A and B are shown apart, each in its own frame.
Chain A
């Protein structure tokens, strides 16, 4: 017996299909959007805003460092405790919520897909175990491939084909989705208590971060990968880093994409758009970044916008976390992943009374408002680094209301009027643009639009968010409230949230990519890889790859090798 749903009388925003606020019914059968239904359960959306399920391009929700964050911040745990209900297990945490809270809270905001963007390959099993434990959300995770010894060896020898064979192997071995870059070379240098500028040589490897980024972009484009390389560059969070950011974008300008998408996704760009030379003369350079993105087609970005308040910062960028810990004096933990990457974690409080934090707060929104084409921009807070994902509704209401931005700015440090662009920007995003930066555009950036995400066309996954506002709503407070708790969230054709409460918590699916490398190249690469396992890894080659049991609900995307 087919399970059918009919969403009646909603006002639909479906940018991939060009639907901009049209009154339209949506028919659902067996988890997919269909043309008609015969005997459906009817959900009356009564003039409310209807969008495809949200797609988050970048949020740290699972894996080793997320869990370390939970363990070393019990004080954060108590800020989000909620008892179990008939549908839900017990929740804890605010900036580092447990896996259950992560699934429920995203679903309440109308999100149905989240990308965990930083999986240390060696910790792939841990990451997948947490994703299995995260209810409702479909997910994927991108392995860190930039500080790996294998990668740097091939960058040095200039052998892009063998590098492609290696990334194909490691993406398959980790059930990953693409290529993640975090402080290329710098994380390896951190093992020697050093860091790297874009053109510094990585200690003992004799390659530069610039060479690593370019080579990985080229290797990624050897396959028809759904997503470009996903880049957290060098010198995140340092005053004056915007020039290095633009140089990083320029590195891949000549690289040709195998699909209709950019060749680099630059993540949490707010942290990379800083002017000045010290924290004293620190200023926003969002305009310079926005100008570049406006004039070029090879880069997409996400915001990494700040949510004021206490949060937990965590990244594979070990040296950055150490500098942050030195500024705040708060607790800090550091981790090395052999041959591959590392990480650091420290808590952080973003305060509207502090000039630097106020400017950071402004920069994220400036990027969203100064970049003209919303398809190039994704809404994120780099959860939890610039703030927890439950802050998205605040951000949406700010981007939609100049009045709200002005009111907030008036209560913050006066530096915002001298060193930021935000107060002079009049642009207000509409619901169509919000739908792009939170689902349609993010699905396209990740290449998921071809796999049923981010839209409501025929055959799409029946992931739908129904928000309890009309398209005419202008009250920023009501907009925020509506985007925090949906009227209904539907995931795979099942109602999972009703009136802001989770009513069902089915398991999500894991999307992973299988790059189909020429077996001859794999064969040629293999002795080098086995040599690394034999001489350096503490695990054996045979025990390394993640077995199928770690993706109990798989969705495989094949990426053929080009020509």
Chain B
């Protein structure tokens, strides 16, 4: 195992109107095989300037890794203006020890990211595989497609310990999302496949869905009128009403399933 510690310098986090840092070049698979001095020279965008990682982060490396899977990147300091953490990563592990900015885990295909605080919008955007654990809240568009695209998350697993914002899993086509508390409007919007489990409350879940499954364990506010009751059924030992929809997408396409209490 190898642990790469990247501590964002305090002056970067507070200086210059808190200009964001783009950390997409600092994934374990991209850093694998690099010595400490080489990691310090990896280019990172800071606003519209390209800087060396060593200028923005304190870097230390412990241990050896035989493959990217054995690399763990621990990101420390105030990361609330660090974007794209773990974007596109294929293997290894990232631990982010604070709140993180937008696009954390976007387009990731493998490995594991743990966020010890909240994640801003677009976390897990267009995720293909791997695991994303957000211990706090997630912002809007969790695991959604990016603007204009027709496919969101296609694989992997995402767990949010707190609440999530609007449009969770928009255009989702595969994979699994679990939200431990409440979600804002339109979870599963345009969903085509995969599964979203909401342990708290949801507002208008499943709108325009044509496939996949949404389970709401808490209350549903403003249930879409375009869903058809199918039967009462048991999920994980609890009784649920099963609905099919969204019939607004025409009866032929309304293959989505919504479980509510």
Interface residues in chain A, defined as those with a beta carbon under 8 Å from any beta carbon in chain B: 72-76, 78, 330
Contact = CB atoms under 8 A, between A and B. Distances in A.
A395 B150 CA distance: 28
Candidate in B146, B147, B148, B150 with the most chain A CB atoms within 10 angstroms = B148
13 contacts: A72-B148, A73-B148, A74-B146, A74-B147, A74-B148, A75-B146, A75-B147, A75-B148, A75-B149, A75-B150, A76-B148, A78-B146, A330-B150
Contacts of B147: 74-75
Interface string B132-169: 00000000000000111110000000000000000000
Interface in B99-147: 146-147
Contacts of B146: 74-75, 78
B200 to A, nearest CB: 31
Contacts of A72: 148
Contacts, number: 13
B73 to A, nearest CB: 25
Nearest to B250: A329
Candidate in A74, A75, A78, A330 with the most chain B CB atoms within 10 angstroms = A75
A149 B147 CA distance: 39
A62 B146 CA distance: 26
Given A73-B148, A75-B147, 7 more contacts: A72-B148, A74-B148, A75-B146, A75-B148, A75-B150, A76-B148, A78-B146
Specify the main secondary structure of chain A where it touches its partner.
helix
Contacts of B149: 75
Contacts of A330: 150
Nearest to B148: A75
Nearest to A330: B150
A76 B150 CA distance: 12
A415 B150 CA distance: 29
A73 B147 CA distance: 8
A106 B146 CA distance: 28
Contacts of B148: 72-76
Nearest to B50: A83
A72 B148 CA distance: 7
Contacts of A73: 148
Nearest to A90: B48
A329 to B, nearest CB: 9
A479 B93 CA distance: 44
Closest 9 A-B residue pairs measured CB to CB? A75-B148, A74-B148, A74-B147, A75-B149, A73-B148, A75-B146, A75-B147, A78-B146, A76-B148
A486 to B, nearest CB: 28
A78 B122 CA distance: 15
A157 B38 CA distance: 79
A72 B147 CA distance: 9
A75 B147 CA distance: 6
Contacts of A76: 148
A74 B148 CA distance: 6
A78 B149 CA distance: 10
Nearest to B45: A83
A330 B150 CA distance: 10
B14 to A, nearest CB: 27
Contacts of A74: 146-148
B195 to A, nearest CB: 25
Contacts of A78: 146
Nearest to B151: A75
B253 to A, nearest CB: 9
B141 to A, nearest CB: 13
Nearest to B147: A74
Contacts of A75: 146-150
A330 B147 CA distance: 14
A10 B238 CA distance: 80
A75 B148 CA distance: 5
A72 B149 CA distance: 11
Nearest to A76: B148
Interface in B51-94: none
A21 to B, nearest CB: 45
B67 to A, nearest CB: 31
B251 to A, nearest CB: 15
A330 B149 CA distance: 11
A76 B147 CA distance: 10
A74 B146 CA distance: 9
Nearest to A331: B148
Contacts of B150: 75, 330
Interface string B167-180: 00000000000000
A342 to B, nearest CB: 23
A149 B44 CA distance: 58
A193 B184 CA distance: 40
A67 B101 CA distance: 31
A320 B131 CA distance: 45
A454 B148 CA distance: 39
